[in-house]
Amino acid sequence: MVKQKMTVEGVVFFASAYEGYMPNPVLKRVSTNQYEKQYIKGGIIAGGFSTVQGKWEWHGESVCQIPEDRKEDAYINYVFGSEYDLNTFMKIDAIDSAKLIVEYSNEWVLEDQNHPDYPANQRSSRLGRNAIYILQKVDINDKNKVSYGAAYNISKKDNTHRLTYERKFKDGKSVETFYEWFNGGGKTHFGRWEENDRIVVKFTKKF
């Protein structure tokens, strides 16, 4: 793993390169109707930037994954977006900030998967293919925070949402409660979780 970070005229750039096992497994055919998960080797090149112009923060990042022997697609996944504090113009005295982050991501396939032992293409299972991400964070004060986050897959029309409230107490204690729900067709990434809407309460104690 090699990493590099630098700042040029107010813009922060970063890049990294990695060679070894890929982070996600692929399906290898071991018999006519049997497959098994296997981690394959390859290379990953990543880069991105972040900058602030006035009240706006802009950022972007891309990752290129190149598997060995075309056992998986070689592709570039990219995301870019912006952050803005809506309370800059709303000027609500009852809250500290209301930062909105909006991002768009997509994928560019450089070379199709083509290997006799790895015929099952898993392109549809990869996240960030023509998707929009939204995160609205509202800091009421240093002890109370609420947020709403959502991810929309534009092509497949499936989505997920999360509504969160966090309360901080003394001595490093905090309680976070969130409600998470899913929508979409049965064969879509989030649609298959449609019957798994949930409420979670998490208690944290820092020592």
Judge contact between 66 and 98, C-beta under 8 A.
Answer: no
Domain locations along the chain: 1-80+107-129
Yes or no: say if 29 and 113 are a contact pair by the CB < 8 Å rule. no
Q: Identify the pLDDT of residue 120.
A: 87
Instruction: Kindly state the average pLDDT of the residues 129-157.
Output: 96
Distance CA 63, CA 77 (A): 5
Global pTM reads: 0.89
CA 198 to chain centre: 20
pLDDT in tens, 64-98: 999 999 999 999 999 999 999 999 999 999 999 99
pLDDT reported for residue 91: 93
Q: Residues 13-33: pLDDT tens digits?
A: 999 999 999 998 999 999 888
Tokens 């020592």, located at residue: 207
